């Protein structure tokens, strides 16, 4: 709903009724992910998309109906559904859509407005709605890092504070949007949480030409990119115009004072032991998503020996991606940046790193792999690939 924030805030300011259709679940090769949204106001004006065009007309009509009745709607479209096929979802996937109306003057309006203002400012917030056993319920929560606004029907404030809000904050920290079933005493409640967090961070250490290419790739992928190097002659905004910030400091000192989280990517491109070893010693002990280091296999072996001597254990060392990147045969800085970005995207999304022609099943399977773990390279018929019921072996 991030792209709809401006439109929805305008409609709220004008006192208009509207409905928002949010993708709450997907299957197979669905065109959009959970959180994609289409909004329609009481004059028929639309904004956003739930399917990239496949079922927009049908969802638009559901929104118009929800505005008229004031009742929410939950609907699944899929390739095996005659109605869905008729409206054009021929991509081989399914999407489940929650359509929820916001009548003019609704108690949910100020809660939603506060959440959307946070989204527009780039502040972290989760928007939570309840789903009962037969369909969606009314009510909305805006869960911030330090407070909760709104309510969910049938839940006490204690359950909201002790159960729903902590789960929403955990999803927010991980950058996840989706449904959860939560136990609140003897009661269970299903909720859909849309999370909006600042962009994940890409920390690039080493102000070299490969860093410039990786900075461009990271910004294209939506990361907040920082370049850090201790040498002021190289670490300049002029050399890295695509970086959001360029920092002159010793890498390990900067890492110690900057904010990181479970989505942060750390790329060490200096391949100089006096910079690398203190930096990697710190990075491998932090709860970040990815730590990769550039260098030859000889450099990597020397680096590992130095890190062991510094006291790192095998579990910590196993997190290091070195030599950095996937095997694309990359030569140029741009190709190398693509190789590195492909690796940390695969880790973030649970991809195998294999060519799709050598995999089977849905292109976007739910829970195919554990985010943060990249299966070893292999093809059907290889021992590693065929292990574990035909799935690639996972390297921890």
**Among 278, 279, 374, residue whose Cα is nearest residue 319:** 374
Residue 33 and residue 164 in one domain: no
Say which range, 25-34, 87-96, 240-249, has the weakest mean pLDDT: 87-96
pLDDT in tens, 125-163: 999 998 864 445 568 999 998 899 998 877 888 888 888
pLDDT at 135: 47
Give whichever of 16-30, 159-173, 208-222, 350-364 has the largest mean pLDDT.
Answer: 208-222
pLDDT at 229: 97
How does residue 389 score in pLDDT terms, banded at 50, 70 and 90?
very low
DSSP string, 19-78: EEEEEEEEEES-SS-TT-EEEEETT--EEE-SSTTSSHHHHHHHHHHHHHH---EEEEEE
Parallel, antiparallel or unpaired: strands 148-151 and 178-184: unpaired
Say which range, 204-208, 237-241, 378-382, has the weakest mean pLDDT: 378-382
**Among 54, 60, 48, residue whose Cα is nearest residue 26:** 54
Q: How far is CA 129 from the centre of its chain?
A: 19
Residue 95 and residue 135 in one domain: no
In a domain, 386, yes or no: no
Residue that is written with structure tokens 């296999």 in the block: 297
Supply 350's token pair. 């649970």
What is the distance between the alpha carbons of residues 243 and 227, in angstroms, rounded to a whole number? 7
In a domain, 223, yes or no: yes
In a domain, 369, yes or no: no
Structural domain range at position 266: 201-346
Q: 272: left (phi > 0), else alpha (psi -120 to 50), else beta?
A: beta
- For 279, other C-beta atoms within 10 Å of its C-beta total 26
Final residue belonging to a domain, choices 105, 126, 149: 105
Residue 100 and residue 143 in one domain: no
Beta bridge partners of residue 142, listed in sequence order: 127, 149
According to DSSP, residue 160 is labeled I
In a domain, 390, yes or no: no
How does residue 271 score in pLDDT terms, banded at 50, 70 and 90?
confident
Q: Three-state secondary structure along 235-290?
A: CCCCCCCCCCEEEECCHHHHHHHCCCCCCCEEEECCCCHHHHHHHHHHHCCCCCCE
Q: Do the Cβ atoms of 96 and 16 come closer than 8 Å?
A: no
User: DSSP strand E in 108-223: where?
Assistant: 125-131, 140-143, 148-151, 178-184, 187-196, 201-205
What is the distance between the alpha carbons of residues 394 and 346, in angstroms, rounded to a whole number? 13
Supply 70's token pair. 């004031």
Q: Do the Cβ atoms of 170 and 145 come closer than 8 Å?
A: no
Residue 32 and residue 86 in one domain: yes
What is the distance between the alpha carbons of residues 379 and 175, in angstroms, rounded to a whole number? 31
* H or E stretch at 109: helix 108-121
Number of domains the chain is built from: 3
């Amino acid at each position: 709903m991030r792209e709809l924030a401006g439109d929805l805030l305008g409609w709220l300011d004008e006192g208009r009724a509207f409905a928002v259709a949010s993708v709450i679940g997907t299957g197979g090769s669905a065109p959009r992910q959970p959180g994609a949204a289409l909004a329609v106001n009481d004059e028929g004006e639309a904004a956003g998309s739930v399917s990239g065009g496949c079922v927009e007309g049908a969802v638009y009509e559901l929104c118009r109906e929800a505005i008229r009745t004031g009742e929410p709607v939950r609907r699944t479209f899929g390739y095996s559904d005659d109605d869905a096929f008729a409206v054009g979802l021929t991509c081989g996937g399914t999407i489940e859509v929650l359509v929820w109306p916001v009548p003019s003057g609704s108690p949910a309006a100020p809660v939603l407005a506060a959440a959307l203002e946070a989204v527009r400012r780039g502040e972290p917030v989760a928007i939570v709605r309840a789903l009962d056993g037969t369909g969606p319920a009314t009510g909305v929560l805006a869960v911030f890092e330090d407070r909760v606004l709104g309510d969910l029907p049938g839940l006490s404030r204690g359950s909201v504070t002790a159960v729903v809000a902590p789960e929403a904050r955990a999803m927010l920290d991980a950058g996840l949007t989706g449904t959860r079933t939560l136990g609140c005493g003897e009661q269970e409640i299903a909720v859909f949480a849309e999370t909006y967090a600042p962009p994940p961070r890409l920390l690039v250490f080493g102000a070299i030409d490969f860093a410039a290419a990786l900075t461009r790739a990271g910004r294209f992928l939506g990361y907040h990119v920082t370049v850090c190097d201790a040498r002021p002659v190289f670490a300049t905004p002029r050399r890295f115009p695509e970086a959001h910030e360029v920092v002159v400091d010793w890498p390990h000192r900067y890492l110690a004072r900057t904010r990181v989280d479970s989505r942060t990517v750390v790329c060490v491109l200096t391949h100089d032991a006096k910079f690398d070893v203190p930096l990697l010693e710190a990075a491998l002990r932090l709860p970040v998503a990815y730590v990769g280091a550039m260098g030859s296999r000889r450099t990597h072996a020397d680096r590992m020996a130095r890190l062991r001597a510094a006291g790192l254990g095998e579990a910590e060392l196993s997190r290091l991606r070195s030599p950095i990147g996937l095997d694309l045969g990359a030569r140029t800085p741009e190709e190398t940046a693509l190789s590195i970005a492909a690796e940390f995207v695969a880790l973030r999304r649970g991809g195998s790193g294999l060519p799709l022609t050598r995999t089977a099943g849905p292109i976007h399977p739910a829970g195919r792999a554990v985010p943060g773990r990249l299966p070893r390279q292999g093809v059907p018929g290889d021992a590693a690939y065929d292990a574990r019921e035909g799935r690639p072996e996972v390297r921890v």
